[in-house]
Amino acid sequence: MPNKLKSRIQPGDIYEDCAYHPCLCFGVDYEEDDIAVWGISLIDGSYPRSCSLNHCGVEKMTMEQAWKRKLEFAEGRFKPPPEDGDK
């Protein structure tokens, strides 16, 4: 399970984007009202993977968590968590 952001994310960190991809952070813009983070997906190499730190629920991941997620996607075993109100 990814970790809630307890400290500022910075380039070089691995984060989970709103599509549940583990991404390598290339940049963060803390100067904007809507703080943006962007990077490259460690699942399929897609970029830029941009998310809002205020609105998207971005979470930091460890290398181990990112590798596990990569394998889950590759094997078709990844299931996103239910959204609030879903049962």
How many separate domains does the chain show? 1
Cβ neighbours for 82, distance < 8 A, ≥ 6 positions apart? none
Inside any domain, residue 61: yes
Inside any domain, residue 8: no
Residue 19 belongs to domain spanning:
14-74
Cβ neighbours for 60, distance < 8 A, ≥ 6 positions apart? 2, 3, 5, 9, 13, 14, 15, 16
- Say if CB 65 and CB 7 are below 8 A apart: no
Inside any domain, residue 65: yes
Q: Tens place of pLDDT for every residue, the chain, 87 residues?
A: 566 555 688 999 999 999 999 999 999 988 766 789 999 999 999 999 999 988 888 999 999 999 999 999 988 888 888 876 555
Residue tagged 């983070």 (tokens): 37
With a threshold of 0.85, does the pTM exceed it? no
Distance CA 56, CA 77 (A): 23
